[in-house]
Amino acid sequence: MSKKVAVVTGSNKGIGLSIVKGLCKRFDGVVYLTSRDEARGKAAVADLNKQGLHPEYHQLDVSDKESISKFRDHIQEKCGGIDILINNAGFAIANNIDFSYDFEENKKIIDINFKSILTIQELIFPLLRDNGRILNISSDCGHLSNIRNKYWADRLSSKNLTLKDILEFVDWFLEGCKNKSLKKEDIADGGTIAAYRVSKVALSAITILQQKELLKRNISVNSMHPGFVRTDMTKGNGFLSVDQASETPLYIVLDAPDSLKGAYIWYDGKAVDWYDCNGEYYFKISTYIEQLVSAVKKQNI
């Protein structure tokens, strides 16, 4: 009987690395640490080895279809399949948090945070074994309340949601950036980090469709907001350490009841209503700024 296999994308640092650590301690099988940069990935593995943990390593750039294909072929040959897949790789919020029409930067954020998942779905999902678990790491930026354009909020919240709807939503945003027709009011919080919000909302939405498609094989597909975590992405600010933030992802893929499927899960492990357009779940830039100010004050004490 082949060994069980867990894969974490973008896991050479931050939450991804902490998830790998937790899996190495608790998961009865092979754990793959993957990263875009091979040197950094192997350095992370070497550090874990010093701690008595021994994940496997393979290079994986989720924005590069050839890289994903090579990883697929490796897993197929060495392991035969995957039991747990955690899609953690993502592109950090740009330095400019204000509303921006920068088409190239916004497209890059969406390509990495959302479009890459479509390639992974095409190439890697066929390797998922029956009863497997997939977790897409989203964000509070991925809750539907981040979208204030009524047409798109209504269309994305339809129970008959299709991939065409999600792709056209993303295209609407990018086209609006290109021709400057997008309004700040279309996105929550005055349009701050708009591309990041759109990419994560699209990721949360595609999770719903992925679950419907894989339900017949009893594969669980969920998305989650990991909390405001002290990582490079948040410039070291946040309420949670990476180890604290890894607790809920580990719970979802290792301990959650089989009934937890197609959910959007908060960092405390509770499923919340992703469709609640009027909820207070959306990311507020004021929270981020407060953390930055607090950090500066501590440095000056």
CATH value at residue 54: 3.40.50.720
Beta-sheet strand order (sheet of 271-272): 56-59, 30-35, 5-8, 82-87, 128-137, 220-224, 264-265, 271-272
Active-site positions?
196
- Confidence band of 113 (pLDDT split at 50, 70, 90): very high
Least confident of 46-55, 90-99, 146-155, 240-249: 90-99
Nearest residue to 36 via CA among 67, 69, 74: 67
pTM of the model: 0.92
Strands 30-35 and 271-272: unpaired
Q: From CA 286, how far away is CA 25, in angstroms rounded?
A: 37
Q: List the structure tokens of 278.
A: 């009027």
- Confidence band of 151 (pLDDT split at 50, 70, 90): very high
* pLDDT, average across residues 149-163: 97
> Are 19 and 250 spatial neighbours (Cβ–Cβ below 8 Å)?
yes
* pLDDT, average across residues 106-123: 96
What is the percent of the chain with per-residue pLDDT over 70, rounded to a whole number?
90
- Give the domain extent around 263: 5-300
Per-residue model confidence (pLDDT) at position 146: 97
Task: Count structural domains, the chain.
Answer: 1
Across the chain, what does the average pLDDT equal? 92
For 171-180, what is each residue's pLDDT tens digit?
999 999 999 9
